Amino acid sequence: MKGHSLEILGPKLRFGIISTSVFELAAFMCYSDKMSNDVNQIVSEKLDKNNFHVWKFRMTNFLMGKGFWDYVEGENEDPPKLPEENATAVEIKAFKDWNQGACKVMYWLSVNVTNTMIGHT
């Protein structure tokens, strides 16, 4: 399943979900998660045209510390495959867990980019 890509920190960040607005979907799915607020304590400045290296350093360490760096690095690039029919509970859970992790990363990235930079991503 082909998805959206975002190449800010690493080679690829792809999602197995199709949406007109990945940012809106990520924010909707991840907003209520208690971990989503942690990023504001670590990455105090949003990405703008003057602070890429500092922002990248902090965001990279934040995602590594949370165990989500694989989504950015490309090691966790594709969602687990779901069969067309008769998916098992384990397969469905693996897919949902992957999607939730991808949404968290996308949310954390999207809320830490200034509005003026969104057109550049």
Strand-pair partners of 47? 113
pLDDT > 70 in the chain, percent = 64
pLDDT at 35 over 60: no
**Nearest residue to 27 via CA among 91, 94, 118:** 118
What's at 6, amino acid-wise? L
Helix or strand holding residue 109 (H, E)? helix 89-110
User: Which amino acid is residue 59, in one-letter code?
Assistant: M
pTM comes to 0.64
User: Cα–Cα–Cα angle for 73, 78, 83, nearest 5°?
Assistant: 165
Higher-scoring residue by pLDDT: 84, 115? 115
Q: Which residues pair with 113 in a beta bridge?
A: 47
Residue 81 above 90 pLDDT? no
Predicted confidence at residue 28, as pLDDT, reads 45
Question: Could you report the per-residue pLDDT of 89-115, keeping only the tens digit for each?
Answer: 999 999 999 999 999 999 999 889 999
Q: Is the pLDDT assigned to residue 17 strictly greater than 90?
A: no
